[in-house]
A and B are shown apart, each in its own frame.
Chain A
Amino acid sequence: MDPTQATREVFWNIQYTWLVYVLMVPTLAVFGWGFWLKIRRWRAGQPAVRFDRPGERLRLFLRNAIGQGRTIKRRYAGVFHSLVYTGFIVLFLATTVVAIHHDTPLHIMKGHFYLIFQSLIVDIFGLFVLVGVALAAIRRWISKPKLLVYTDEASWILVTIFVMALTGFMIEGWRIAVTDDPWAHWSPIGNLFALGSDPWMTDTAMQRGHVIIWWFHLVVAFGWIAWVPFSKMSHIFTAPLNIFTANLDGYGGSLKTIDFETAERFGINHLGDFTWKDLLDFDACTECGRCTDVCPANTVGKSLSPRDIILDLQALMHKQGDQFLAGSNGSNGDGNGATLPVIDEKTAMAPEALFSCTTCAACMEACPVHIEQMPKIVDARRFLVMEEADFPEGMMDMMNSLESRQHPFAGTQFNRVDWTEGLDIDVMADMDDPAEAEVLMWVGCGGALVERNRNTVRATAKLLKKAGVKFAILGREESCSGDPARRVGNEFLFEMLAKGNVETLSRYGVRKVVTSCPHCFNSFKNEYPHFGGSYEVYHHTQFLDQLLAEGRLDRARSATVNGGRTITFHDPCYLGRHNGEYDAPRNLLAHLGGTRQVEMQRSGNQSFCCGGGGGMAFVDEPPDQRVNQERAQEAVDTGADVVAVGCPFCATMLDDGVNARRGDRDVRVKDVAELLWDEVGTP
């Protein structure tokens, strides 16, 4: 037998093969129609620029769509999805090979290629599909984790794929058996079926069975293909597209800006107000539930569920169909009732849920297909806040204070310069030449006005002084960066504060900003450029890390202050996930003599929010649903003596949490700068 002549007969044992082509027409028509409906809906959305920077997009696409970078982060799901995914790709290629071989003059399905790829590899990957689907079925039907959505559709998807793979092997096996295929051992699984059937089935029975199962296989496969655009399997196409068009600017820059001069409505309460990318997001969801699984609000038992937000919006979009198109096409949405409101007490988009989001972006980081849940929550909050003036009381007080006092802490007993007492710190307004200050130390409301954080900003200032950095503060001229207003949904207030701050900074010609508040940091870095304020922005841990590296802060003289302590670092969402800085604070902690660093179970980009972002620091949470306590417990469980933080909000939230959860152990919450000063500053 000459392996270079190896091949098999396409359509062996099959008559009326023309019927295949006839059936293919409606199949592809329905498939195309389904996707055309989707595309038409997306196109009704507002504009968004998501095809720029093709190089970066391609890289992201290769990593997370083709390479499944995020999907494989969950081990079990990652394994079975990879099995099915790679199986599908190989089986699709194999089908293409058959088509080329049979329908074009290129008879490629022969020889070693036939044996190695078309027989052996295809068999193995077919087995992958079977095993993958079986693993998925075990999860869905037996272990039943909470994160999944239990729909009939999802079950049918597993059943149909399994049936397709299984019948594929059956027809292969019977062909091998009946034709006594000399290359049978190259198709191990099919051969297994052949060997299994041989003893108890006659050739005629197998041949007849082959015909029946062959057509059955074809009908199921064609039906399945036609069904794809109408089921969550459409993610085969929508997910890669969604990843290619993902937001490339990091979560910190993911909120939309509003042009208040022209906007007909502030925020979103109608599908037509979403961008086409938002609408694509709804269709790209795979129902994997990872976003809800990692959501801090959901974890502590609140009703917020980013997965259900996306799925409910998807359902709304599908339900509204052409009505929604009519209500929004080309215009900014007319709000005349042609479209149903997206904020709805009865769905996941209930105001109560929307107002429990901490904007931590854990959902976005977890989503394998790069859906942007959090900005949609903020979009809806904007509508509630700016159009309806409807929001929780604590947020109301915070915003009132921002409006009249330019800081969110109503009732604080401190002013913006109290903390400088005895430190001799330059205030820009009092300097003869403010340009002498190389760096603006942006203190932040949380640093200057909250008692427990004043020590942090003092430590930061002392470290800067010690390193000989020429810096100044704005003192009373500093206003809130606007972050709390923006996350709560009051974009208008944010814009006023931002513009005011940019103006002040321009007046003093500020170019470099150091701040110990990651929220201010994020606003300066990602949001102020929109208002004409572009600065070199550092979080204090980044700046101090740089000073240490440059040798401007000498290493501790006494290694005893923190000596023997175990420290765990809590990543602030707005430093870590939103801006990708995980190392600087850890580097600084590594400089503390005689200490040991331990990591919490959820850290780095998987870190769990302290519960204070998104304006939640100003809201009284129900005692049994406190995000800060959940996180504090995790910190305490590491056995650490010190929970290191890098954010004034984390500091207060975790202080409360740790005090509630530390039992009789002595566990302290301290900012990295405080710890560093304790050591570097000790004579």
Chain B
Amino acid sequence: MSTRPLIEVRGLVTRFGSHVVHDGLDLEVRRGEVMGIVGGSGSGKSVLLHTILGLKAPDGGEIFFDGRPLSRMTAAERAALERRWGVLFQGSALFSSLTVRENILVPIREHVSLPPALMDEIADLKLGLAGLGTDAINKYPSELSGGMKKRAGLARALALDPDVLFLDEPTAGLDPISAAAFDELIRELCETLGLTILLVTHDLDTLHAVCDRVAVIAEKRIIAVDTIARLATNSHPWIQDYFGGPRGRAALRS
């Protein structure tokens, strides 16, 4: 079982009306790796994530999780699977009528039973892991800055110590210091807990710091999956522009 990839996307087709976003997209995410996804704005990274999560039904192709097709899972199997996922959405998707602490506690309350005092301490812990200051915990999402929302979303994604993390632009809107702390956290969690992470990002430094492999979306499919060092020598023009541009070179040098 463990030789199979954890997540397998085969021949995925997604479209909105007549607008085709993916056409025959293939992707494999191995157990315990950090897979980065890059691509231009609007190339379908978020849509790919949503499709893997089952929020959008594929218009063709199949997604396998642990070797089992998602479309043929029973509701109970899906629920067990979702229990192992942590998701950070691009827009954070915090519950606006709950405070940050309550937001973090939502998955915990739903799935495990803990004494209330310990539950609060664990919420503090998750917030600390995500790097959000302590004064934010009793605030409502509408009272947070953009970067703080991202981190609160990350804290909620980490709440149940998931096996698989889906992160949509986790460092967008973070200052460079917090972004570096985030990179370090992700590496640390991967090495100690063996997390598998699917990470959409535009942040070249994060790509370098944490990703084992990077998948490039262009032309409605994944055109290359490889380590950064080898991607940089790929001859595809878009990849050349991406890693060969001034920002890409600066990040590669460091």
The answer on A and B forming one complex is no
The chain A residues found within 8 Å of chain B, CB to CB, are: none
